[in-house]
Amino acid sequence: MLIFRGVSWLMTVGGLWIIVPALIAGTVKSLLILDNTARKGVQRILEMADGRCLGAVYSIQTWLLVLVMMGTGIALRHSTLPREILGALYVTIGWALFFSSRHAWLVWKRISELRNKA
């Protein structure tokens, strides 16, 4: 959703050229910051075979950080920042989150392949 909203803002202001630098920045953020957290989250999910609540995948501190990030996003959306900046931020953050989700999808694919072989 972040990517689509960011691209739509960039389209309205003629800033589509900003998408490429935003994707590069998002990839860097994914590789340097989010990938480690994504891998840890996947590992915690795999270790939760005891039926605990899926919300227990992350610590309370992580959930609080998610709430802060959501609040920041809402504040930014309602701010007076130019749409070029907001669009770039949304595309960057959205792409970083999407790109780092590949860790979960790869594990899901491996598990599906193992189940199909059985």
pLDDT at 55: 75
Question: How many structural domains comprise the chain?
Answer: 1
| pLDDT tens digit sequence for 79-113 | 999 999 999 999 999 999 999 999 989 998 988 88
| pLDDT tens digit sequence for 43-76 | 888 887 666 676 777 778 888 988 998 999 899 9
**Cα–Cα distance between 5 and 3 in angstroms, integer?**
6
**Cα–Cα distance between 85 and 21 in angstroms, integer?**
12
The helix-helix angle for 2-12 and 19-29 (nearest 10°) equals 150
C-alpha closest to that of 29 among 72, 93, 89: 93
**Cβ atoms within 10 Å of 52's Cβ, excluding its own:** 11
- Answer yes or no: pTM beyond 0.85: no
Q: Could you list the residue range(s) of the whole structural domain that residue 86 is in? A: 2-47+54-117
